Structure 1
């Protein structure tokens, strides 16, 4: 862990392949540099110069692509969110039932975040420190994930104890908190092990504490 309480990422991590967000172009290298720098030292302490050193890209190249640090950070955030939504949606849509789709989508999300720890830290932890635009992006992302938790399709027996939208929001919010607590402790690699706990939590809120067979 760094002195800021966010996870450190060793140089050896760069050798891991294949990465879902493998940086190839200069723009992608800058996004990757932003993610790694922010994960190591926090958004507030990160400067454009820090990102340039990490990405090994010139200042001129940076400003040809981004207006400022915030603009680059939000682009990196958008990149990880878009890939998460794509992976979750593909897994969800390929399933035969809501329960199966939810589990597959959750597996896809956790595997992706574990494979991209710096982007996971940026997208789950550091976005909370990125000002009004970052918080607005995060709120929109939460709303988009709520759509995957459509409790009207879950076909859970018995009445729900709250309106469906509130149940879906509670499920997504609880999952987010579990992600946050593990990522901020530097345990991003353990995220794929949380599927069972997250499923149990989800089905408890839906009024069905046992995981479907």
Structure 2
């Protein structure tokens, strides 16, 4: 499931069609979001044009310019929507996890993040590869996304510290560095093996994370 879920990629019929105008606008906007992510994943950010986006979204250029100033503004909106979608999935994934089990929270969050990226390759390319070429606004969006993920790691740390399992305090900026390392591993995997291989990173990223917490589990059975 992803940004395209429930969105009809076909062009709306001409004339009176009885569809709520707000629903039409939402559908068109989401189709253009998916269109820009799809185009960027296929062609690269700098090569993507408005023509590429409207062709994939099946909307007119007039409709595009009624909603967005240019390609950059459309991509910025799509990036934000992709982040919101991923964060929503992460929130849902830990609802049934015991909130005092920091290891399970950490493992579930990492696994869910990688699985959702693998299921939404266009979003994965936008978040971890093409956003690097998208200018200062998206760079700031990336920083906010990484901060959100770092805060989740820090939340798991606090639980472990509270139970006495985590032996020492960790400065907040170290969690930012951890997310940077995870971002690098994800990007490398996508560029060498493709997004479908991302879930295989989960055990390694879990080991790296708990080692940072001062509890290395390199020899844990079943974790390779």
The equivalent of 1:9 in structure 2 is: none
Root-mean-square deviation over aligned CA pairs: 1.8
Question: Does structure 2 conserve the Cα–Cα contact (< 8 Å) formed by 1:29 and 1:55?
Answer: yes
The equivalent of 2:52 in structure 1 is: 50
- Superposition pairs of residues 14-25 of structure 1, within 5 angstroms: 19-22=1-4, 23-24=7-8, 25=27
Alignment match of 1:190 (pick from 183, 197, 215): 197
Moved over 6 A (4+): none
Structure 2: gaps spanning 5 or more residues: 9-26
Question: Does structure 2 conserve the Cα–Cα contact (< 8 Å) formed by 1:43 and 1:129?
Answer: yes
Identify which of structures 1 and 2 has the higher relative contact order when contacts are C-alpha pairs closer than 8 Å and 6+ apart.
1
TM-score (norm 2): 0.80
Structure 1: gaps spanning 5 or more residues: 1-18
Moved more, 94-103 or 200-209: 94-103
Alignment match of 1:85 (pick from 62, 84, 87): 87
- Answer yes or no: is 1:180 the counterpart of 2:182: no
Inter-CA distance 55–157: structure 2 relative to 1 (3 Å threshold): closer
Shift of 1:130: 0.6
The equivalent of 2:167 in structure 1 is: 158
Shift of 1:144: 0.9
Question: Does structure 2 conserve the Cα–Cα contact (< 8 Å) formed by 1:102 and 1:149?
Answer: yes
The equivalent of 2:216 in structure 1 is: 209
Look up the SS of the partner of 2:158 in the other structure. coil
Shift of 1:192: 1.1
Alignment match of 1:149 (pick from 153, 170, 179): 153
CA distance in 1, matches of 2:178, 2:94: 16
Cα deviation 1:126-163 (Å, max 9, x = unaligned): 11111010101100111111110112222344335xx3
Cα deviation 1:90-135 (Å, max 9, x = unaligned): 2234321121111111111111110110111011111111101010
TM-score (norm 1): 0.84
Question: Does structure 2 conserve the Cα–Cα contact (< 8 Å) formed by 1:124 and 1:180?
Answer: yes
